[in-house]
């Protein structure tokens, strides 16, 4: 099955354990639950609504852009190769038909089981002109977690990119000041990643130790 811009082809994972998955354990109180999960279901044409027209227009404006699209939850998500990201966001902002004037958020996602595409960056765009919402998604590897900053196109993405760096370790090339924004400057690691230890970390509480949830709660 065709891959989504470096994202492994759609597949059903056996189970997800706990609220957040494993490793390193779950401090949510739901470590005893398990459930099947499905990721990256690729949509087929016709997508419906205005989605086909927007994808067609972007393909006209950005030669070589594929049609790797997800329409789950009544939301259009387009998977964009990282080397085409700046061309795509310039087109979404400037083209009269598209006119996604604002980038409302930039956030990271960590899929440690997706070899070569462990880190994803999701851009939520809004067209006030056409009353439409669009998501762009870029996949990166742990070995090369670098993508162009979109602050030259959407200045409001500045702090969102800093937060994504802080929490996930994504490096936004060309960002005007990529520094921590939530954690202290000398913090070790990126707490949004699923491989970051959530319990039993002594230094987080100045010498106190909070035991992992498995030692504090039974089912």
> Does the reported pTM lie above 0.85?
no
Specify whether the CB–CB gap between 145 and 169 falls below 8 A.
yes
At residue 211, the pLDDT reads 66
Comparing C-alpha atoms, which of 68, 29, 18, 63 is closest to residue 47? 68
At residue 1, the pLDDT reads 37
Element at 134 (helix H, strand E): strand 132-140
Kindly state the tokens that stand for 181: 């924004």
**Homologous superfamily of the 41-188 domain (CATH):** NADH:ubiquinone oxidoreductase Nqo5 subunit (3.30.460.80)
Strands (E), 3-98: 11-17, 34-39, 69-70, 77-79
Tell me: the pLDDT tens digits for 146-186? Answer: 999 999 999 999 999 999 999 999 999 999 999 999 988 88
d(CA 78, CA 169): 23
Along the chain (219 residues), what's the average pLDDT of each consecutive run of 10 residues?
A: 51 66 62 74 92 97 94 94 97 98 97 91 98 97 97 98 98 96 88 79 57 59
Domain ranges of the chain: 41-188
Calculated CA dihedral for residues 71, 67, 167, 30, nearest 10 degrees: 40
| Category of 207 on φ-ψ map: left (φ > 0), alpha (ψ -120 to 50) or beta | left
């Amino acid at each position: 099955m065709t891959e989504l811009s470096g994202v492994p082809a759609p597949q059903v994972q056996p189970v997800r354990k706990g609220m957040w998955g494993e490793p390193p354990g779950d401090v949510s109180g739901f470590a005893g639950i398990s459930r099947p999960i499905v990721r990256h279901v690729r949509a087929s044409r016709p997508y419906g609504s205005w989605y086909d027209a927007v994808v067609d227009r972007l393909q006209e404006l950005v030669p070589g852009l594929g049609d790797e699209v997800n329409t789950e939850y009544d939301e259009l998500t387009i998977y964009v190769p990282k080397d085409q990201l700046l061309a795509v966001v310039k087109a979404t902002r400037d083209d009269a038909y598209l006119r996604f004037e604002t980038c409302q958020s930039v956030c990271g996602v960590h899929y440690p089981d997706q070899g070569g595409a462990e880190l994803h960056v999701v851009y939520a765009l809004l067209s006030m002109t056409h009353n439409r919402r669009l998501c762009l998604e870029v996949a990166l590897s742990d070995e090369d977690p670098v993508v162009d900053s979109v602050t030259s196109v959407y200045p409001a993405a500045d702090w969102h990119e800093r937060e994504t760096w802080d929490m996930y370790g994504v490096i936004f090339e060309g960002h005007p000041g990529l520094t921590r924004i939530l954690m202290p400057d000398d913090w070790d690691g990126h707490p949004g990643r699923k491989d970051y230890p959530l319990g039993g970390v002594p230094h987080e509480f100045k010498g106190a130790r909070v035991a992992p949830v498995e030692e504090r709660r039974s089912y």
